[in-house]
Amino acid sequence: MSTLSALVCRAALAMLVAVSARAQSTAPAEPPSGLDTGLEQQVRQLALTGTATHTPGAPRVDVSIGQLDPRLRLAPCQHVEPYVPDGMRLWGKSRIGLRCTQGPSKWNVYLPITVRVFGTALVATGGIAAGTVLSATDLTQAEVDLAEDSSVPLANADQAVGRTLARGLKPGQSLRQSHLKARQWFAAGETVTVLAQGDGFSVAGEAQALNPGIEGQLVRLRTESGRVLTGMPVGERRVEMPL
C-alpha cells in the first residue's frame, strides 16, 4: 500500500471513530432505575406528592429511585400504574408499588426508593461522648435530612440542654430523641396528677403509679376507686391520658 493510501485509510478510520463517539455521547441515557423515562417521572411525582401530604411545610424533598430486583422476569405490559402501598410511609428508605393493568399477565412488584426530607435541626458541633450532659455550646442548628433516622430530630436547644446523651454523636450528626437518656418523672408508688383533655374540656385528678414513670413509656395507674388506667408520663409527677 502506498503512503498516500495508508494516510487516506487512517483518516477514514479516525472519522468513523469520531462519528461513533459523537453518536454515543448524544444517545439518551437510560434512567438508572431501568424504568422508561415517563414511568420514572410518574414514580418520582407520586413520591413527592405523598411526602408533601404527610410533611406539610417541608422546605426541600429529594427522591432517589432504586432498581427492581434483576432476577424478576416480568411479562410485557402496555400500562404500568405506580401506587403507594397501604400503610407505607414515604420517609427514608421506602417502596412504591408498580402494577400491570393492561397486559397478557397481570403482575405487581415493589420498587425501592429513598426519600430525603430536609429541614433545620440540632447537630453536634464536635464529637460528643455517651454520658455527656449537653450544653448550649455542644449544639448548633443546621440543615439535615430529617428522614435519615426513624427517631424524631430535635430542633430547639431547650429540648436538649441539660439532658444526658445515651449514645455518642459524631461532628455534624443530627441529635435525635433516641440519642438522649430517657428521664424518670416519678417512681412506682408515688401519687401523680392525671390530666385528661378533650375538645373544650380538661379534667384533672390523682392516682397512684403502679410502675416507674419513664419518658416515652406508658405507665399504669390506680385511682382512689381502684380502677386501673394507662397514661403517658409528661413531667414531674404528671401523666396525660389518651382520649
What's residue 54's pLDDT? 64
| Local confidence band at 241 (pLDDT 50, 70, 90 cut-offs) | confident
Q: What is the grid cell recorded at 198?
A: 378533650
pLDDT at 27: 40
Percent of the chain clearing pLDDT 90 (strictly above): 67
Q: Find the mean pLDDT for residues 170-191.
A: 94
Q: Is the predicted pLDDT of residue 184 greater than 50, yes or no?
A: yes
pLDDT, tens digit, 9 for 90 and up, residues 58-99: 678 999 999 998 888 999 999 999 999 999 999 999 999 999
Q: Are 99 and 46 in contact (CB under 8 A)?
A: no
Q: Indicate whether 146 pLDDT > 50.
A: yes
Indicate the CATH number for domain 184-241. Answer: 2.30.30.760
Residue type, 83: Y
Give the model's pLDDT for residue 197: 80
36-62 pLDDT, tens digit per residue, is 889 999 999 999 988 876 666 667 899
Domain boundaries, the chain: 37-117, 118-179, 184-241
Lowest-confidence segment of 32-36, 55-59, 205-209 by average pLDDT: 55-59
pTM above 0.75, yes or no: no
Residue 30 is predicted with a pLDDT of: 44
198 contact partners, CB below 8 Å, separation of at least 6: 243
Lookup result for grid cell 390506680: 222
Residue 131 has pLDDT above 80, yes or no: yes
CA–CA distance, 225 with 104 (Å, rounded to integer): 67
User: Which CATH architecture fits 118-179?
Assistant: Alpha-Beta Complex (3.90)
DSSP assignment string, 43-56:
HHHHHHHHHHHHST
| H-only helix segments in the chain | 3-26, 37-54
So what's the pLDDT on residue 20? 43
